[in-house]
Amino acid sequence: MKALVYHGPKKVSVDNVPDSKLEKLTDVVVRLTTTNICGSDLHMYEGRTDVEKGKILGHENLGEVVEVGKAVDTVKKGDKVVLPFNIACGFCANCERGLTGFCLTCADPSVMPGMAGAAYGFAGMGPYSGGQAQFLRVPYADFNCLQLPKEDAEEKEKDYVMLSDIFPTGWHSTRLAGLKPGESIIIYGAGPVGLMAAMSARIQGASQIFVVDGQPDRLALAEKIGATTFNTKDENGAIGDQIRELTNGLGADCGAECIGYQCHNSAGKEVPNLVMNSLVDAVKATGTIGVVGVFVPQDPGAEDKLAKKGEIAFDFGKFWFKGQRMGTGQCNVKAYNRRLRDLIHHGKANPSIIISHELSLDEAPNAYKHFDNRDKGWTKVVLHPQAA
């Protein structure tokens, strides 16, 4: 089969690799029809992780089941399914609590003591191949496959594929932030996850949605979703001051960090602690911050000495003095994807609004270059592995 393979920093290619196959009785094999390039793929693409050469990338996957293991009960050949980016067993102590992003069974214990969680095609998240490929092996298929409605599985495929990661992750940021109907939220980042956070906040009844970014094309999408936007390259004063002006001097009720450790200032310089400290400033006293942007235990490619060790200079004094709270970590997709699927099915959510490019798998290496450069108009890339 064809697959997108990592060969080193900014070196990926579509190669012929061994076909995905059943390895356990609880597996299925999915013929992938849609798979996305995620912003977190760029950390690996740029060589900012310890991902090994030869890894097949891709964790936002949707397709048709073509092989079924003998111990699989509910998933059938021919089912159209979308897959959470995190791989979970469904029966460990964390999965039983709904924390499927931190599965103990599927985790790779060699990564770090106490580490939990697994994912397709991602650094430090186990030996699992990714889905920027024509086929994908899915472990614990009864638990991990979300079956799609037959009535509109094909018609809304571009919406449903967002259930693999960014729509649940955007939703997760608002839940970590404790957003309630009628409250205000400030979202840092208008990439795919930040845009999904804005859509999630709108669905949940936020009274004010503020989105901060430095890319006009992405901010235009945020405005289309219903947000008030701030372009960091145009703003003269502190964002926090402006947010307080719009919130009776208090600040936003809560905030979402949807960028991660590779955030940049208005001059384009990477400043790892910028967004976290900006959120502490812009969120009100006693407010809550949800962090879903990727932060890694080690960043060997960082220029900042702290960032090399996975650390930032966090304004903990102001955070403590304001009595704020924080929730962090990757999304437990299974906690949300079934209900979010139904929002799409019944026309209450249309996450595909952010898609800018639909390409074949062969075009993926060039797409990585454009997406990594944040070229104008490259907001979300969808790949179709079966396309010629």
DSSP annotation of 264: B
Q: How far is CA 61 from the centre of its chain?
A: 12
What does the pLDDT read at residue 237? 63
Structural domains in the chain, sorted by start: 2-165+332-384 (3.90.180.10), 170-328 (3.40.50.720)
Average pLDDT along the chain, 388 residues, taken 10 residues at a time: 97 98 98 96 90 96 98 98 98 97 91 87 94 98 98 98 98 98 98 97 98 95 97 80 97 97 85 94 98 86 85 96 97 98 98 97 97 93 93
For 53-86, the three-class secondary structure string (H helix, E strand, C coil) is CCCECCCEEEEEEEEECCCCCCCCCCCEEEECCE
CB contact at 8 A, 43 and 373: no
Q: How far is CA 12 from the centre of its chain?
A: 20
Query: Which tokens in the block code for residue 23?
Result: 């390895």
Helices (H), the chain: 41-45, 93-96, 141-144, 157-160, 166-176, 192-203, 216-225, 239-246, 274-282, 305-308, 316-321, 337-345, 364-372
The pTM score is 0.95
Select from 185, 78, 119, 74 the least CA-distant residue to 332: 119
Q: Which helix (H) or strand (E) holds 35?
A: strand 28-37
* CA 201 to each of CA 37, 106, 185, 205: distance values in angstroms, whole numbers, following the listed order: 24, 32, 8, 6
Give the span between the Cα atoms of 204 and 212, in whole angstroms: 20
What does the pLDDT read at residue 196? 98
What does the pLDDT read at residue 235? 65
Give the span between the Cα atoms of 325 and 192, in whole angstroms: 25
Give the span between the Cα atoms of 123 and 120, in whole angstroms: 9
Q: Which helix (H) or strand (E) holds 250?
A: none
